[in-house]
Amino acid sequence: MSIKISTGISYIDHVLGFLKTGDNVIWEVEAGTYIESFLQKFIEHSLKSGYKLVYISFNASPSTLTKRLAHLSHLENLTILDCFTSGKGNSDPLFTQFYEKEKVRFRGSVIKVENPNDHSRFRMAIDRIEIEKGEGVRYVFDSLTGMQDIWGDENITYKFFTYSCPRLYDLQTVAYWVLEREAHTPSFKANLRHITQVAIELDNQNGDLFFKAVKIEGRFSRSAFLPKQYEVWDGEIIFPSIGGRRPSNLGEKIRSLRKKIGMTQKELAEQVGLTPSFISQLEKNLISPSLDSLLKLSEKLNTQPVYFLAEDEGSSFQKMVIKPEERQEVRFSTLRRKDIQFQLLVSDVLNRRMEPYLLTLKQGAGIDGHFCGHKGDEFVYVIQGEVEVEIQNENYLLKQGDSLYIGSTFPSKWENRGIVDAVILWVLSPPREGL
What structural domains does the chain harbor? 4-238 (3.40.50.300), 250-309 (1.10.260.40), 324-429 (2.60.120.10)
pLDDT over 70 at 277, yes or no: yes
- Write the CB contacts of 354 (distance below 8 Å, at least 6 apart in sequence): 346, 427, 428, 429, 430, 431
What one-character DSSP code corresponds to residue 332?
B
Nearest to 304 by CA among 290, 230, 313, 354: 313
Question: What is the C-alpha separation between 79 and 46, in angstroms, rounded?
Answer: 13
Average pLDDT, the chain: 85
Question: What is the C-alpha separation between 179 and 311, in angstroms, rounded?
Answer: 37
State the DSSP string of 197-244: SEEEEEEEETTEEEEEEEEETT---TTTTS-EEEEEETTEEE-GGGT-
pLDDT over 90 at 260, yes or no: no
- Write the CB contacts of 363 (distance below 8 Å, at least 6 apart in sequence): 416, 418, 419, 420, 421
- How high is the pLDDT of residue 347? 63
pLDDT over 50 at 317, yes or no: no
Reduce the DSSP state of residue 180 to 3 states and report it.
Answer: strand
Q: Chain centroid to CA 350: how far?
A: 13
CA gyration radius, the chain: 25
Cα of first residue to Cα of last residue in the chain, in angstroms, is 35
Residue 62: count other Cβ atoms within 10 Å of its Cβ: 23
Write the pLDDT tens digit of every residue in 89-102: 999 999 999 998 89
Whether 21 contacts 173, CB under 8 Å: yes
Percent residues over pLDDT 70 in the chain: 87
Nearest to 229 by CA among 246, 248, 253: 246
**pLDDT level of residue 434 (50, 70, 90 thresholds):** very low
**Residue of higher predicted confidence among 222 and 238:** 238
The stretch 405-420 carries a mean pLDDT of 89
- How high is the pLDDT of residue 220? 66
pTM reported for the whole predicted model:
0.59
Least confident segment among 212-221, 245-254, 286-295: 245-254
Please, how many CA atoms are within 13 Å of residue 67, restricted to the half-sphere of its CB?
A: 7
Question: What is the C-alpha separation between 293 and 207, in angstroms, rounded?
Answer: 10
In this structure, the chain runs to a length of 435
pLDDT over 60 at 385, yes or no: yes
pLDDT over 80 at 241, yes or no: no
Question: What is the C-alpha separation between 147 and 164, in angstroms, rounded?
Answer: 14
